[in-house]
Copies of this chain bind each other. A is one copy, B any other.
Amino acid sequence: MTLQPRNGRAPSVKDVAAAAGVSLGTVSNVLNRPAVVSTATRERVERAMADLGFVRNESARQLRAGTSRALAYVMLDGGNPFFHDVAEGIETAAEDADLSLFVCNSSGRSDREAKHIDRLVQQRVQGILITPVDPDASHIVEIGQRGIPFVMVDRLSRDGGHCSVAVDDVLGGRIAVEHLIDRGHRRVAFVGGPLSVGQVRERLQGARAVWAEFGMPAEDLIHLPTEALTVSEGRSAGERLAGLPTRRRPTAAFCANDLLALGLLQHAVTAGLRVPDDLAIVGFDDIDFAAAAAVPLTSVRQPRQELGRTAARLVLDEATNPDHTHEQATFVPALVARASTGTVRR
CA A100 – CA B1 in complex, angstroms?
Answer: 32
CA A79 – CA B78 in complex, angstroms?
Answer: 11
CA A88 – CA B126 in complex, angstroms?
Answer: 25
A44 at the interface (CB under 8 A from B): no
A122 at the interface (CB under 8 A from B): yes
Whether A231 lies near B292 (C-beta < 8 A) is yes
Whether A124 lies near B57 (C-beta < 8 A) is yes
Whether B295 lies near A122 (C-beta < 8 A) is no
A193 at the interface (CB under 8 A from B): no
A56 at the interface (CB under 8 A from B): yes
Query: Which chain A residues in 47-75 approach chain B with CB under 8 Å?
Result: 53, 55-60, 62-63, 66, 68
Q: How many chain A residues touch the partner (CB < 8 A)?
A: 55
Contacts of A87 in B (CB 8 A): 78, 105
A81 at the interface (CB under 8 A from B): yes
Q: Which of A59, A102, A231 has the most CB of B within 10 A?
A: A59
A262 at the interface (CB under 8 A from B): yes
The residue on B at minimum CB distance from A119 is B100
The answer, among B9, B63, B91, for a CB contact under 8 Å with A60, is B63
Contacts of A102 in B (CB 8 A): 102-103
Contacts of A89 in B (CB 8 A): none
The answer, among B9, B58, B105, for a CB contact under 8 Å with A91, is B105
CA A63 – CA B121 in complex, angstroms?
Answer: 17
The answer, among B3, B56, B57, B292, for a CB contact under 8 Å with A266, is B292
The 7 A-B pairs at the shortest CB distance, nearest first, are namely A294-B294, A58-B122, A59-B62, A269-B294, A6-B147, A59-B63, A59-B59
Interface residues of A (CB under 8 A from B): 1, 3, 5-6, 9-10, 53, 55-60, 62-63, 66, 68, 78-79, 81, 84, 87-88, 91, 100, 102-105, 118-119, 121-124, 138, 142, 145-147, 231, 235, 262-263, 265-266, 269-270, 288-289, 292-296
22 contacts between A and B (CB under 8 A): A3-B145, A9-B66, A53-B145, A55-B118, A55-B122, A57-B63, A57-B122, A58-B122, A59-B62, A59-B123, A63-B63, A78-B88, A79-B81, A84-B84, A100-B119, A103-B103, A103-B104, A103-B105, A235-B292, A262-B292, A269-B294, A269-B295
